[in-house]
Structure 1
Amino acid sequence: MKKLFIFLMSLMLVVGFLPSLSSASTKGLKVHFVDVGQGDATLIQSPNGKTMLVDGGSKSSSVELVKFLKEKGVKQLDYVVATHPDADHIGGLIGVLENFKAVNFIDSGFPHTSQTYYDLLTLIDQKNINFTVPKELDKISLDEQLIIRVLHINDEAKDSNGASIVLKLTHNKVSFLLMGDADTSIEDYIRKKYDVSATVLKNGHHGSKTSSSAPFISQVKPKVAILSYGKNNSYGHPDTAVEARLKNVGAKTYKTAVDCDITVTSDGVKYDVASSCGKMQSKKPSTPAPVKKSDTKPAIQPKPTQTYFKNCTELRKVYPNGVGKGHPAYQSKMDRDKDGWACER
């Protein structure tokens, strides 16, 4: 009888009446570093099907970010994290919350006076989203297969970047370190207190020289580094020294300005990296079109109609999204959070 039972069980497996071990296995983890121009946005799709969005780029990237989330099948966001209240991290979250149900919102708690931050908080209140300011080492319970912990948060920081929430996500043997806009002082703090080694590092502050110090990179020892920034940005991101440090530790660097959307897939042991452009396109370089004589003349750049404004209200009448450092109308006194962007909403 025992032999007959074993035979019948084997037969049922073969013909499909019972699930095999492979068909019962869980889905993998997907972490998407979304191309939102000069900003940050990271979508985490966990093995159990839950989702978490960390930052959302600027307001100008909102439409594309919403489109990306829909393309990835997102119906609901279980967690939304604003690492800090700078416009290039939270601006796009307004459009996201208008288009998707969000269950929990995690905030740095850093007080900010921008209209963008005020509008975001108002929307969170209107939609009755659970609002939390976590503590250091708090765990975000997204999936039992994942460990997501807060390694840094400081609502009393001297500036918004210093308040950045730093997250470490561990999926068995594959780990991710998401640095927000954390600078070298925060890097020094967390590397002396915690295990910061990670398979994938989303570098702090878009690859700026204010972050990604040599001691920190050497301790993280990432296999993959993600630099999220916009093409031809006025800040000089990413810094060449940062790229050199990543190369020195053997990290494979991906850039949203070059590779567009970057997706890291993990089964907990192995990982794969795919990008939506850049590397794939470089395999078949296109033949340049012949240049017409009329095209060789340099385009005449129109001069700004106005470069001095008494206050942000007046400036936004001409430049609704504010202006960046290096723009003729930029004034440091109007850049209250000292993030290199004046009068952002």
Structure 2
Amino acid sequence: MANNPVFAGSTSVFILDAQDGKPIQQLLWGDEIVVLQDHGDWLEVEARRERGWLQRSKTTPERLLEINFVDVGQGDGAFIVTPDNELALVDAGAGSNMLRFLSWRFNLRIGRPSSDPKKVDFKFAVMSHGDEDHYGGFTELFESPHLSFERIYHNTLVQRKTASAADGLGERGQIQGTRCHMELIRTPDDLARLLAAHPDDRSKYLQLLKAAGPERTQGITEKDAYLPGFEADHRTAGGKSLSIEILGPIALEEGGQLGLPQLGDSIGISKNGHSIVLLVRYGQLRFLLGGDLNTPAETYLLRQKTKRDAPPENATANEWADYLAIAREHFGADVAKSCHHGSADFSTTFLRAINAAATVISSGDEEPHCHPRPDTLGAVGKHSRGERPCIFSTELMRSSPEFKARSQYSGEQIRQLLNELPGAGEKRRKQILKEVETLLSAKERVVATYGMITLRTDGERVLMAQKLERPRAGGVEFDMHWFSRREKILTLDQ
């Protein structure tokens, strides 16, 4: 019995109940497939928790780059799988949605570690900044016995309790004539000293970094250039280039001292504005992951990278074209994660610099901000690439409840099954436990399958897809949008 994985090809792929049979599960391009039996032109396979038959011609040996924008409610959370099967997270939302997604993805049993010894190792996790709707979900992830993280990166600004709220990000001073936050927590030793200096501080973010383990945490800025292991010359096992560049935050330096500019009157403006911004390059394509950037931050980033101010609105078309050409060398992307959940606090110049063919907005229900804002949606569409740029939203892609509450009937079923368990034989015990597990996992399945926007790419083409809430005829379960490169520019296939 073979167990080496292959992957679903880019054509219409369905697991069938028999050779030339009926579809029982649709697969997305790049879905991992375990081959159970090889029958020549036909394979017996398992994928997406289903077993059945698949034509060999529908598979490919190439693992893709996969970026999943998980529906974490009001917040951000992206799960990444590299072509070398390295796992990473960029933010994790505020609550348990990311843990529930990962438990579904890897078939983990939350809260029952003794019955499930499975371990999932992550290459890195990024906490873009210290807002709870970006970092809160890591609390349960760091506590999980099933998950481990090699490195954890943050944006160097760590809020703590002080006599004055204005001093919550530490010491301030002047660098290059600019008022800056000076107390940047960059190294594990910096974090250890901060924790020692505030032993009774129960601030959530500070306590989370403590739980993460100071020895494996690192504060990063643009001066670090690239995430370790994903430098400009990095190549995958398949020979394709894969790098992760750090575009922000950008620190100023003077006399060996680093500082991040104070972007506004409140520390929240600086904390959000100095979010970690990552540019993922794979093959010929670029993907931008920003946190909660705001207008002052975007203006600052553009000025630092282009070494000039943006032209005035009445500048000539040629002046704007020259400026945007420089800005797009740094910030241009084929697909972008919208900053700050579609907030109205953005720069249209920055949107024009990104010039994305597709934008993903991560937002949630029951929040007081009305994200994504109507003017933001209009501006993203206006300033994106092509005649029909795409805007995806985790909130809009899920109209079913975020958590499907278990009905009273399912609760009665669980009680009946557990009452039967003590007198059951070994075979029936296994069956009972499986049935109970199915009933208990109802919540996890809703979070994992509805609202998430998944991106798959081989470095030339891009698939972006979301789960349909009701399958179409023929077993179609996903809404899919394909993008391909034409004249060196990624555009939507019509």
Task: In structure 2, give the amino acid aligned to 1:261.
Answer: M
- State the partner residue of 1:233: 367
In structure 2, C-alpha distance between the alignment counterparts of 1:152 and 1:225, rounded to whole Å: 19
Determine the C-alpha separation between the residues in 2 that align with 1:202 and 1:42.
10
Q: Distance in 1 between matches of 2:297 and 2:135?
A: 21
Answer whether contact 2:155 2:221 (CA < 8 A) is retained. Answer: no
Aligned to 1:265: 456
- AA matched with 1:130: R
The answer to whether structure 1 residue 49 and structure 2 residue 85 are counterparts is yes
For 1:102, the equivalent position in structure 2 comes to 149
Q: Does 1:123 align with 2:159?
A: no
Aligned to 1:31: 67
Letter of the aligned partner of 1:45 in structure 2?
Answer: V
Q: Which residue of 1 aligns with 2:354?
A: 220
How far does the alpha carbon of each residue in 1:65-99 deviate from its partner, in whole angstroms, 9 at most, with x for none?
44255359982111000000111000001111222
Identity %: 25
| Superposed CA offset, 1:287-322 (max 9, x none) | xxxxxxxxxxxxxxxxxxxxxxxxxxxxxxxxxxxx
Change (3 A) 1:54 1:263: same
What's 1:295 paired with?
none
**Residues 268 and 121 of structure 1, relative CA distance in 2, 3 Å threshold:** same
CA spacing shift, 1:146–1:66, aligned 2, 3 Å: same
Deviation track 1:254-312 (CA, whole Å, cap 9, x = no partner) reads 101122101110100000001124xx64969xxxxxxxxxxxxxxxxxxxxxxxxxxxx
Partners in 1 of 2:282 and 2:99 — Cα distance?
31
- Is 2:293 the counterpart of 1:182? yes
Letter in 2 for 1:151: L
Match status 1:59 vs 2:59: no
User: For residues 92 and 220 of structure 1, what CA distance do their matches in structure 2 show?
Assistant: 28
1:217 maps to a residue whose letter is L
Q: Answer yes or no: is 1:208 the counterpart of 2:343.
A: yes
Kept in 2: contact 1:207–1:239 (CA 8 A):
yes
The 5 A counterparts of 1:68-87 are 68-70=104-106, 75-87=120-132
CA gap 1:254/1:49 in 2 versus in 1, 3 angstroms = same
Whole-angstrom distance in 1 between the partners of 2:127 and 2:465: 25
Q: Note closer, same or farther for the CA distance 1:96–1:160 as it changes in structure 2 (3 Å cut).
A: same
**Cα deviation digits, residues 98-133 of structure 1 (max 9, x gap):** 2211000011111213632133112122xx652111
Task: Give the ranges of 4+ consecutive aligned residues of structure 1 lying more than 6 Å apart after TM superposition.
Answer: none
- The residue number in structure 2 matching 1:288 is none
Q: Aligned equivalents of 2:119 and 2:143: distance in 1?
A: 14
Structure 2 residue aligned with 1:139: 226
| Root mean square deviation of aligned Cα | 2.8
CA distance in 2, matches of 1:71, 1:166: 31
Whole-Å Cα distance in 1 between the matches of residues 60 and 359 of structure 2?
33
- Alpha-carbon distance change, 282 to 240 in structure 1, aligned in 2, over 3 angstroms: farther
What are the ranges of 5 or more consecutive residues in structure 1 without an aligned counterpart? 1-14, 16-22, 285-345
> C-alpha displacement at 1:63, in angstroms?
3.9
* Counterparts in 2 of 1:188 and 1:71: CA distance versus 1, 3 Å: farther
Tell me, yes or no, if the aligned pair for 1:62 and 1:91 is still in contact at 8 Å: no
* Residue aligning to 1:151: 247
The 1-side partners of 2:126 and 2:222 are apart by 15
Counterpart for residue 293 of structure 1: none
In the other structure, the counterpart of 2:176 is none
Aligned partner of 1:319 in structure 2 is none
Query: How many angstroms does 1:236 deviate by?
Result: 1.2
Q: How far apart are 1:165 and its partner, in Å?
A: 0.5
For residues 127-160 of structure 1, the C-alpha deviation after alignment (integer angstroms, 9 at most, x for no partner) is x652111231521124633110110125744431
Q: Which amino acid aligns with 1:50?
A: E
C-alpha distance in structure 1 between counterparts of 2:119 and 2:64, whole Å: 16
How far is 1:217 from its partner? 1.4
TM-score (normalizing by structure 2): 0.49
The structure with more strand, counted as a fraction of residues: 2
Q: How far is the alpha carbon of 1:28 from its aligned partner? A: 1.0
Paired letter, 2:352: S
- Shift in alpha-carbon separation, 1:173–1:230, aligned structure 2, 3 A: same
Cα distance in 2 between the residues matched to 1:222 and 1:28: 21
After superposition, the Cα gap between the structure-2 partners of 1:69 and 1:95, relative to the gap in structure 1 and judged at 3 Å, is farther
CA distance in 2: counterparts of 1:256 and 1:221, whole angstroms: 21
Distance 2:149 2:90 in 1: 12
Between 133-142 and 223-232, report the one with greater CA deviation: 133-142
Give the letter aligned to residue 258 of structure 1.
L
Please tell me whether the aligned partners of residues 335 and 357 of structure 2 are also in contact (alpha carbons under 8 angstroms): yes
Q: Name the structure 2 match of 1:19.
A: none
1:81–1:106: 8 Å Cα contact kept in structure 2?
A: yes
- What is the TM-score with the length of structure 1 in the denominator? 0.68
8 Å CA contact 2:77–2:98 kept in 1: the answer is: no
Contact 1:51–1:74 at 8 Å: present in 2 too? no
